Amino acid sequence: MMIQISTYLIFVHLRILYEPSDPGYDAKRRYIETKLAKYKEPKDPRTGEVKESHVKINKLYKVVEELEKRSNEINAEKKKEVPNMNKLDKMIKEYRGLANTSSVLIKEVENTTKLQKMIHDELLLGEFSIKQRQSNLMGEAYYLENWYNERLKQMSTPTPTPTPTPTVAPTPTPTPEPTVAPTPT
């Protein structure tokens, strides 16, 4: 069992350093297996104690186990971070969308203020032209009222109609007859 664990540890270590598709992976695996073959018996036959090399292997196993645990924790954290990253990406996209929307709204507000200024100017111009037209109409009304009052006065007061004076035809003035000088006899 111990050899299996140590072999496993070595293979894990080997797998961390090399990919199974790497050339020479099998040769390295066989080399490690032959080196581990001498450790098949964990206890020393003379003393009955666990060999020092197996103690080192056990320590290695614990280190590798800790590394695997930490690696699994990191992977789990990464998996947890992925949804958080997705949330962050969504939030970033949302904020970018809001920024774009706000810039569009700012442009719309600027356009609206320009339009309001144009409308205000047009209203002032229209108000001026209306006042000018009103003034013109008031002048015309005043003129028409005066003209109407004058006509009423003329119609209400009888004006003596001049009697026509007979015109006498001029009498013809006699034309003097030429006097003929007497002829001497």
What is the residue range of 86's domain?
41-153
Q: Does the residue 75 lie in any domain?
A: yes
Q: Does the residue 15 lie in any domain?
A: no
Task: Say if residues 25 and 18 touch (Cβ distance below 8 Å).
Answer: yes
- Taking each continuous run of H as one helix and of E as one strand, the counts in the chain are 3, 0
Q: Does the residue 164 lie in any domain?
A: no
Q: pLDDT at position 174, please?
A: 64
Q: Does the residue 158 lie in any domain?
A: no
Q: pLDDT at position 145, please?
A: 92
Q: How far apart are CA 99 and CA 111, in angstroms?
A: 18
Q: What is the pLDDT along the chain (185 residues), one digit of tens a residue?
A: 455 555 555 655 555 555 556 666 667 667 766 666 555 556 666 776 766 666 676 677 777 778 888 888 887 777 776 666 677 778 888 888 888 888 888 888 888 888 888 888 888 888 888 888 888 999 999 999 999 999 988 888 766 666 666 666 666 676 666 666 667 66
Q: Does the residue 179 lie in any domain?
A: no
Q: Does the residue 125 lie in any domain?
A: yes
Q: Does the residue 14 lie in any domain?
A: no
Q: Does the residue 126 lie in any domain?
A: yes
- Number of domains within the chain: 1
Is the pTM higher than 0.75? The answer reads no
Q: How far apart are CA 39 and CA 2, in angstroms?
A: 9
